Structure 1
């Protein structure tokens, strides 16, 4: 895959990712991607039980690109979607909430770590003071990666099944 708008990231396992903002024409590829994501990973990503990621949600994700938010898509060399990520501002420009989901067959190859590192860099470049995720306690692999990258954990008030992980950027 060669897209002049994409940034190339190579994971520790040598997986080459091409990351760029989502576009309207990405909807079929995103629909196919989310159809292949496990129900557990969908729950981790959306913090809700979903049978599928429907058209309206896909359109909202794709169109989330504006001055405050970025919706990213990562492809591998064969053109298939490897992962998606969102970086959403709090409106004041101080905090950014992020979310990532990746293809199951790419887990353990540094894709999640590399994409998270990319999001941290983007958040820092945008001047955010903090980047944060809301994770389910059961999402152990994501929490482990976030700990390795210096994120701190805090239980979400009112829902002990959730953890807010934050990293200060300045």
Structure 2
């Protein structure tokens, strides 16, 4: 994870609320911990649209924990969660150069679609109704 060494000196009450109040009906965040239970090694977020029929998934794995199957399991868990909530389509927006992520998603039944208006991006989509 890339984290800036410069922190925020002061945070408004409104900003703090916006960062900590999550609508768990539409958005859920999952964490994967190291074996010791102390370090976070990966995160996955599922964010649904207002109709709850389409959602976006975003996954991040700590650099030293890549290539261990964590992203695979996080994506699988996020897709099952979204499907259990009635989501019909799960999407992810990827850089065309992120071949590892695109291949991982394809292995799990996602299809790559050109992203309109930006040739550097690709939309990865999975129909959860048939999954």
Sort the TM-score into its range (normalised by shorter chain). Answer: 0.7 to 0.9
The TM-score, its normalising length taken from structure 2, stands at 0.83
1:71 counterpart (25, 29, 32):
29
Alignment of 1:69-148 (within 5 A): 69-78=27-36, 79-148=38-107
Unmatched segments (≥5 aa) in structure 1: 1-32, 36-50
Deviation string 1:34-81 (CA, Å, 9 cap, x unpaired) is 42xxxxxxxxxxxxxxx5797689975653342111122211122100
Tell me if the contact between 1:89 and 1:96 (Cα under 8 Å) persists in the aligned partners: yes
- Alpha-carbon separation, structure 2, partners of 1:133 and 1:52: 29
User: Mean alpha-carbon deviation: is it higher for 139-148 or for 69-78?
Assistant: 69-78
| Displacement after TM superposition at 1:155 (Å) | 1.1
The CA RMSD over aligned residues, in Å, is: 2.4
- Alpha-carbon separation, structure 2, partners of 1:162 and 1:129: 22
Greater helix share, structure number: 1
Cα distance change, pair 64–138 in 1 and its aligned pair in 2 (3 A): farther
The TM-score, its normalising length taken from structure 1, stands at 0.65
Cα distance change, pair 151–58 in 1 and its aligned pair in 2 (3 A): farther
User: Secondary structure of 2:120's partner?
Assistant: strand
- Alpha-carbon separation, structure 2, partners of 1:58 and 1:106: 30
Alignment of 1:2-21 (within 5 A): none
Deviation string 1:115-139 (CA, Å, 9 cap, x unpaired) is 0000010011001001110000111
User: Secondary structure of 1:159's partner?
Assistant: coil
Structure having the higher Rg? 2
Unmatched segments (≥5 aa) in structure 2: none
